[in-house]
């Protein structure tokens, strides 16, 4: 599009970008600052990174975060793909309430979802205790909670990916002798694959990122990275948290660039 | 679709949502009518007191306590104000990005997506580093700034996708018919961006309404929002029934808004929210 | 609807179904059925067509009393197919012709197994298809949108059906290659569908279907997305292919010319019913209803009342005076009828000599279409249309605006339509 861009618009845009990146840059700079307190620059150091790497609780939180993210992403991708496929096929009543149900986990405030599940787990625990079983809030409660909001994102991603294809593709497969399962595996799934991967990536990132729902469902013994950062921030600024944040930003950038390169449509090699 | 296929495809996912979403909602509604018996303990008798408290009436002392209402009010206007600022900053930005040539556009989008994906806590935390030297943490202004910062990318992306799809010929048609540039924009362009704008506003306003992390980190006690109030009931205060009533109210407001939006935009609009 | 004529050729299954249907039905239904049989075909005239083929005595497909309705959100029923009853013979090129919404595509989808009839049955190759899902039916479909699998190459698209049957290796390769050769897209085997033109995609869709050697090939407006020239070329190719392969084709179209050019027989559908079934010439020369008369080509419709019936024909009193037709079967004096005559069969003349069957008219408008002149004429306050071939348009055969002419309506070309 070769429409004119007003200079004021350009200035406005650059200011907005500056606003978006200023805190991130400050964060990165401070992670290399020698001074333990305050805003003064006293010299360059990588000391806080070694402090960070030495912390056992950080390492534990990283592995908890990844474990929850991997398992919840696997479960939600399978369930969400099936739901997205079903929505695409259609042919049932009540599409609007169903879509509403799917959008719910996306729009309900995190804090409500968190406390809701907290109470739900408490009730389930109470019921189980009568039979002599019990469980602690921890890995499983967090993982199940994450799946609950991930399903919707996967389902809607898969569905919008399939939306470009007519349902007669499935009819064509059936017409050529494919059973419903064969048709799903040989026709629908290959077509939906970019959507499935995109949905999985989204689900994975959401799980990595989630603080609020995890905070309410994790109990005291199980900490993920966001929960650890929150606890640290509440205590006060420590430079090793700056280092951790810098690494996480870096990780995000690498992930996005990778995803971008992978999803770029392949051009004919000339 | 045959019932068997329905069960095989939508069944497991919907069952999951029913167990982890609908059942907890019903439990929460039930709890909001029960009595706090001890820290994080709930029991008989059934009561309306929690709901009365939500709307500012203290049944224990038999008097109106406006504090809670003030929190609700503050949550509403802070969310509205943050959304407004997001619109002012983000709406022109979406046009700026859409106007660039392809390579530059992709880069600018990437630069928008990076903060979008960066851990929320970290982005809020970064503001402490900037504002603390000026003595601005904790303060309402810091909360406000943090909210705008946190939600700006969520606002710009849906608006951008609307602007990207714009049919500019309508603008030319309006200009051709003698409209002033401002008028041409309002009649030819603005209505086309409305779906993205509404989606962006909802995606900003709704999370802002339920926010407690930003106010918790940047705002301090004076800037408590409904989110903080809820968090407190499930934390130190240990008053689950009251917290349930507050949560249910918040959820109700959001779902009502969503329902109105669905009626206005239909099923398609619901999906385009993403 | 040509009922009764092929009763004796019913397959055993058809007999059973028909027997069941008769004995389950109430008496009223039964009588209705008997009625229809008696008042069956009335046209014994045989026209010489360009491609008259002997039809097989065996039915490839029998549709027995198929009824289907859609329910809207309010629970209201809209019938889309009402008591469809027809036989399609082995090796026949059969067309379902009608405007959009007439039910032709629904009928095809019921044959393919994508949709179920509310009542009635479908018999394909002697087997009752009730309850048999699409993937186990001996038919293949060419979709209107082609429905090629976008992630598979042309060759893999064509191989899809054979692979489902467990055919692998050299046999698979040979058969795919042969099918691709047959439809003349041999060079495109490795391409993806989005790298092909519309016509090429159409050929792939065809190859993908015929490679399975189905008993019946269902074609859902396969040419409608192509431009006119390509469409005409493919019409011929399709007809030739059908003749070579010997597969029964059921072809759905809304294009009357397409149906006339390619089909052995055509069923004209309207509002969920078959209005008329027969060879192209039967339908064109002897339309039975006003709908058929105007959907296939155009017609002048003239209302009237029968004055007398003789073995040579009937005399019909109309606003233009008495008109003679050669038709007489089933007609009774005093009956209200509508006469139909094709615009190209009207003869425009200048002389005033009266030979009967003439109507005085005035030229109201002339439309030049290249191959012919179309005259819009006014006679006794009614509008008539007459076509005149370009070859005939000479100095003294050319008519002018507002000119008074005599229209001769040949008795053999005046068709008496059924009321309704």
pLDDT, one tens digit per residue, over B165-224 is: 877 777 778 778 877 878 878 877 888 888 888 888 888 898 888 888 888 888 877 778
Distance spanning both ends of chain B, measured CA to CA: 26
Cα–Cα distance measured from residue C107 to residue A43, given in angstroms and rounded to the nearest whole number: 82
- Strands C93-97 and C404-408, bridge-based pairing: unpaired
Is B210 touching A (CB cutoff 8 A)? yes
Other Cβ atoms closer than 10 A to B128: 21
Q: Is the pLDDT of residue A172 over 90?
A: yes
Total domains, chain B = 1
Q: Which of C232, C256, C291 is the last residue of a domain?
A: C291
What pLDDT does residue C7 have?
34
For residues A89-106, average pLDDT: 82
pLDDT for C2-25, tens place per residue? Answer: 333 333 333 333 333 333 333 333
Instruction: State yes or no: cis peptide before B138, omega within 30 of 0.
Output: yes
> pLDDT at residue B70 above 90?
no
A48 vs A242: CA distance, rounded Å: 8
Query: CATH number, domain at C336?
Result: 2.40.50.140
Q: Which residue of A has its CA nearest to B228?
A: A111
**Average of pLDDT values for B87-103?**
87
Can you tell me the distance from the alpha carbon of A78 to that of B9, in angstroms, rounded to the nearest whole number?
Answer: 10
The confidence score (pLDDT) of residue C66 equals 94
**pLDDT for A23-73, tens place per residue?**
888 888 888 888 776 667 788 888 888 888 888 888 999 999 999 999 999
User: Among the three residues C291, C324, C353, which one is the final residue of a domain in this structure?
Assistant: C291
User: Do C281 and C373 belong to one domain?
Assistant: no
* CATH, residue C245: 3.40.50.300
Whether C30 has a pLDDT exceeding 50, the answer reads no
Lowest mean pLDDT segment, chosen from A186-195, B228-237, C46-55, C397-406: C46-55
The confidence score (pLDDT) of residue C134 equals 92
Residue B67 Cα, gap to closest chain A Cα (Å)? 21
In a domain, C34, yes or no: yes
Contact A12, B92 (CB under 8 A): yes
Whether the CB-CB separation of A218 and A137 falls below 8 Å is answered with yes
Strand ranges across the sheet with C265-270? C139-142, C216-220, C248-253, C93-97, C265-270, C273-278
Q: What's the first-to-final CA gap in chain A, in angstroms?
A: 26
- A95–chain B nearest CA distance, Å: 8
**Ranges A97-101, A121-125, C176-180: which has the least confidence:** A97-101
- C65-78 residue pLDDT tens: 999 998 877 778 88
C-alpha B128: how far from its chain's center? 22
Do C274 and C305 fall within a single domain?
Answer: no
Residue B162 included in any domain:
yes
Q: Kindly state the average pLDDT of the residues C343-354.
A: 80
* Res. A165 pLDDT band, cuts 50 70 90: confident
Distance CA B109, CA B119 (A): 18
Confidence (pLDDT) at A31: 85
- If one compares C45 and C166, the residue with the highest pLDDT of the two is C166
% of chain A exceeding 70 in pLDDT: 94
Question: Residue A129's pLDDT is what?
Answer: 87
Average pLDDT over residues C382-394: 79
The whole-angstrom distance between A141's CA and the closest CA on chain C is 40
pLDDT at C114 exceeding the cut of 70: yes
- Summarised one tens digit per residue, pLDDT across range A225-259 is 999 989 888 887 778 888 888 898 888 888 888 87
Rounded Cα distance, B79 and A8, in Å: 28
**Shared domain check, C310 and C396:** yes
Give the domain CATH number at B220: 1.10.3720.10
Helix (H, G, I), strand (E, B) or coil at C379: strand
DSSP H or E segment with residue A154: helix A139-162
Mean of pLDDT over chain C:
82
- Tell the residue number behind the tokens 């009956």, with chain if given: C335
Asked if the C-beta of A34 comes within 8 angstroms of chain C's C-beta atoms, the answer is: no
Looking at the structure, do residues C246 and C331 belong to the same domain, yes or no? no
> Which of B21, B125, B202 comes nearest A233 by C-beta?
B125
Q: Say yes or no: C305 and C285 in one domain.
A: no
Q: Which residues of A touch B93 (CB under 8 A)?
A: 12-13, 16
Residue C352: is its pLDDT beyond 70? no
Section C315-325 average pLDDT: 90
- Residue B238 is assigned to a structural domain of this protein: yes
Q: Number of C-alpha atoms within 13 angstroms, CB side, residue C193? A: 18
C353 versus B230: the higher-pLDDT residue is: B230
CA nearest to C207 within chain A: A176
Task: Name the nearest CA neighbour of C238 among C266, C215, C264.
Answer: C264
- Assigned domain for C207 exists: no
Rounded mean pLDDT of C230-254? 89
> From the list B21, B231, B267, which residue is nearest A99 (CB)?
B267
Residue where the block lists tokens 């407004």? B84
B58 forms bridges with which residues in the sheet? B63
Q: Could you give the residue ranges of the DSSP H alpha helices within chain B? A: 3-9, 11-17, 23-31, 49-54, 66-99, 102-117, 120-131, 140-164, 169-176, 181-184, 190-209, 213-214, 226-234, 240-272
Q: Tell me the percentage of chain C whose pLDDT exceeds 70.
A: 84
Chain B CA closest to residue A254: B114
pLDDT of residue B53: 85
Whether C27 shows a pLDDT value over 60: the answer reads: no
Both C333 and C221 in one domain: the answer is no
Domain that holds residue C368: 298-417
**pLDDT value at residue B203:** 84
pLDDT band at A87 (very low <50, low <70, confident <90, very high): confident
Average pLDDT taken over every residue of chain B: 84
Report the pLDDT value the prediction gives residue C393, as an integer from 0 to 100: 60
What mean pLDDT comes out for the span C50-66? 79
Tell me, what DSSP letter sits at residue C137?
Answer: S
* pLDDT score for B154: 85
The answer on pLDDT for C46 being more than 50 is: no
Residue C333 sits in the same domain as residue C404: yes
In a domain, B25, yes or no: no
Beta strand pairing call for C216-220 and C248-253: parallel
Q: Are residues C303 and C413 in the same domain?
A: yes
Tell me, yes or no, if B25 comes closer than 8 A to chain A by beta carbon: yes
If asked whether residues C263 and C355 sit together in one domain, one would say: no
User: Which run of H or E residues covers position B32?
Assistant: none
Task: Give me the percent of chain A exceeding a pLDDT of 90.
Answer: 37
> Of C250, C265, C291, which closes a domain?
C291
Mean pLDDT of the region B77-88: 92
A55: CB partners within 8 A, 6+ apart? A240
- What is the per-residue pLDDT for B270? 64
Q: Is residue A269 predicted with pLDDT exceeding 50?
A: no
Asked if B210's CB is within 8 angstroms of A111's CB, the reply is yes
A96 to chain B nearest CA, in Å?
Answer: 6
Confidence of residue B267 (pLDDT cuts 50, 70, 90): low
Q: Which CATH class is domain A60-237?
A: mainly alpha
What CA–CA distance (Å, rounded) separates B64 from A143?
A: 42
Q: What is the rounded average pLDDT for all residues in chain A?
A: 86
pLDDT of residue B71: 86
Mean pLDDT (whole number) for B112-135:
84
More confident residue, C213 or A96: C213
Residue numbers of the domain that contains B85: 77-272
Whether residue C136 is predicted with pLDDT greater than 80 in this model: the reply is: yes
Whether residue C37 sits in one domain with residue C125 = yes
Q: What is the mean pLDDT of residues B43-57?
A: 84
Higher pLDDT, A37 or C415: C415
Query: Residue B172, preceding bond cis, omega within 30 degrees?
Result: no
User: How does residue B33 score in pLDDT terms, banded at 50, 70 and 90?
Assistant: very high
Average pLDDT over residues B31-60: 83
Interface test with A, best of C134, C159, C179, C207 (most A CBs within 10 A): C134
Q: Could you report the predicted ipTM of this complex, rounded to two decimals?
A: 0.87
pLDDT of residue A39: 66
CB-CB neighbors (< 8 A) of A9 in chain B: 92, 95-96, 99
**Cβ distance C89 to C243 under 8 Å?**
no
For residues C393, C398, C400, C404, the Cα torsion angle rounded to the nearest 10 degrees is -130
Residue among A171, A178, A180 minimizing CB distance to C147: A171
- Measured N-to-C along each axis, helices A110-129 and B226-234 cross at an angle, to the nearest 10 degrees, of 20
The Cα A223–Cα A139 span in angstroms is 9
| A72-81 pLDDT, tens digit each | 999 999 999 9
What residues does each domain of chain A span?
60-237
What pLDDT does residue C357 have? 85
């Amino acid at each position: 599009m070769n429409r004119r861009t007003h200079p004021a618009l350009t200035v406005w845009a650059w200011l907005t970008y500056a606003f978006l990146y200023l805190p991130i840059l400050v964060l990165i700079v401070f992670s290399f600052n020698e001074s333990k307190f305050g805003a003064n620059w006293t010299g360059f150091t990588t000391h806080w990174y070694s402090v960070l790497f030495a912390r056992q609780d950080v390492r534990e939180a990283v592995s908890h975060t990844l474990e929850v993210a991997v398992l919840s992403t696997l479960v939600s991708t399978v369930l969400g793909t099936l739901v997205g496929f079903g929505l695409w096929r259609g042919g049932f009543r009540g599409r609007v309430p169903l879509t509403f149900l799917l959008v719910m986990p996306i729009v309900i405030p995190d804090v409500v979802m968190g406390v809701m599940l907290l109470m739900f787990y408490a009730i389930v625990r109470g019921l189980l205790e009568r039979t002599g079983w019990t469980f602690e809030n921890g890995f499983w409660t967090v993982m199940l909670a994450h799946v609950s909001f991930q399903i919707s994102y996967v389902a809607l991603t898969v569905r919008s990916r399939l939306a470009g294809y007519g349902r007669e593709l499935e009819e064509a497969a059936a017409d050529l002798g494919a059973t419903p399962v064969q048709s799903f595996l040989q026709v629908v799934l290959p077509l939906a694959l970019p959507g499935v991967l995109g949905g999985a990536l989204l689900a994975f990132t959401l799980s990595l990122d989630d603080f609020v729902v995890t905070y309410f469902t994790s109990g005291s013994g199980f900490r993920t990275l966001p929960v650890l950062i929150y606890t640290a921030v509440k205590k006060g600024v420590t430079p090793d948290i700056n280092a951790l944040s810098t690494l996480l930003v870096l990780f995000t950038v690498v992930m996005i660039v990778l995803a971008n390169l992978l999803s770029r449509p392949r051009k004919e090699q000339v | 679709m045959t019932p068997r296929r329905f069960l095989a495809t939508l069944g497991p996912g919907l069952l999951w949502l029913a167990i982890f979403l609908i059942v907890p909602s019903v439990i929460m509604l039930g709890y909001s009518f029960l009595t706090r018996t001890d820290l994080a303990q709930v029991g008989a008798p059934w009561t309306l007191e929690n709901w009365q408290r939500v709307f500012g009436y203290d049944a224990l002392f038999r008097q109106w306590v406006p504090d809670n209402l003030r929190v609700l009010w503050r949550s509403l206007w802070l969310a509205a104000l943050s959304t407004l600022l997001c619109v002012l900053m983000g709406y022109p930005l979406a046009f700026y990005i859409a106007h660039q040539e392809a390579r530059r556009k992709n880069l600018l989008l990437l630069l928008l997506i990076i903060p979008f994906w960066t851990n929320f806590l970290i982005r809020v935390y970064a503001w402490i580093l900037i504002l603390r030297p000026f003595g601005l943490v904790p303060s309402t202004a810091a909360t406000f700034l943090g909210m705008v910062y946190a939600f700006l990318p969520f606002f710009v992306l849906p608006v951008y996708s609307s602007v990207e799809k714009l049919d500019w010929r309508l603008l030319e048609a309006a200009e051709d018919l003698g409209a002033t540039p401002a008028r041409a924009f309002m009649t030819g362009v603005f209505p086309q961006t409305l779906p993205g704008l509404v989606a962006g506003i909802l995606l900003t306003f709704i999370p802002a309404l339920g926010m407690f992390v930003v106010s918790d980190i940047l705002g301090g006690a004076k800037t408590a929002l409904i989110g903080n109030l809820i968090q407190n009931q499930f934390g130190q205060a240990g008053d689950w029934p009251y917290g349930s009533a507050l949560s249910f109210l918040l959820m109700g407001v959001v779902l009502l808004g969503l329902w109105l939006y669905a009626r206005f935009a239909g099923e398609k609009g619901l999906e385009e929210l993403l | 609807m040509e009922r009764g004529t092929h009763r004796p050729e019913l397959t055993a299954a058809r007999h059973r179904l028909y027997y069941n249907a008769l004995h389950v039905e109430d008496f009223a239904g039964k009588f209705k059925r008997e009625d229809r049989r008696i008042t069956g075909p009335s046209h014994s005239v045989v026209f010489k067509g360009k491609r008259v083929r002997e039809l097989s005595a065996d039915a490839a497909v029998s549709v027995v009393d198929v009824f289907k309705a859609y329910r809207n959100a309010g629970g209201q029923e809209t019938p889309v197919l009402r008591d469809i009853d027809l036989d399609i013979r082995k090796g026949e090129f059969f067309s379902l012709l009608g405007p959009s919404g007439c039910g032709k595509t629904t009928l095809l989808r019921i044959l393919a197994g994508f949709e179920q009839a509310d009542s009635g049955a479908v018999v394909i190759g002697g087997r009752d298809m009730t309850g048999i899902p699409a993937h186990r039916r001996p038919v293949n479909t060419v979709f209107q949108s082609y429905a090629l699998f976008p992630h598979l190459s042309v060759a893999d698209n064509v191989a899809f059906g054979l692979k489902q049957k467990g055919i692998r290796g050299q046999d698979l390769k040979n058969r795919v290659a042969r099918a691709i050769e047959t439809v003349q897209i041999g060079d495109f085997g490795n391409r993806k569908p989005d790298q092909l033109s519309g016509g090429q995609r159409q050929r792939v869709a065809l190859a993908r279907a015929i490679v399975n050697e189905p008993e019946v090939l269902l074609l859902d407006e396969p040419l409608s997305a192509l431009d006119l020239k390509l469409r005409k070329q493919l019409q011929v190719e399709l007809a030739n292919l059908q003749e070579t392969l010997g597969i029964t084709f059921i072809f759905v179209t809304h294009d009357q010319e397409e149906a006339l050019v390619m089909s052995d027989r055509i069923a004209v559908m309207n509002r969920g019913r078959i209005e008329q079934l027969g060879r192209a010439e039967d339908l064109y020369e002897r339309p039975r209803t006003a709908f058929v008369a105007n959907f296939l080509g155009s017609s002048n419709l003239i209302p009237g009342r029968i004055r007398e019936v003789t073995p040579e024909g009937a005399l019909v009193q109309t606003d233009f005076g008495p008109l003679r037709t050669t038709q007489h079967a089933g007609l009774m004096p005093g009956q209200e009828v509508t006469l139909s005559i094709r615009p190209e069969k009207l003869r425009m003349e200048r002389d005033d000599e009266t030979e009967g069957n003439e109507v005085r008219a005035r030229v109201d408008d002339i439309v030049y279409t290249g191959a012919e002149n179309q005259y819009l004429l006014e006679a006794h306050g009614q509008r008539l249309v007459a076509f005149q071939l370009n070859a005939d348009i000479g100095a003294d055969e050319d008519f002018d605006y507002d000119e008074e002419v005599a229209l001769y309506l040949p008795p053999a070309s005046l068709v008496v339509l059924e009321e309704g």
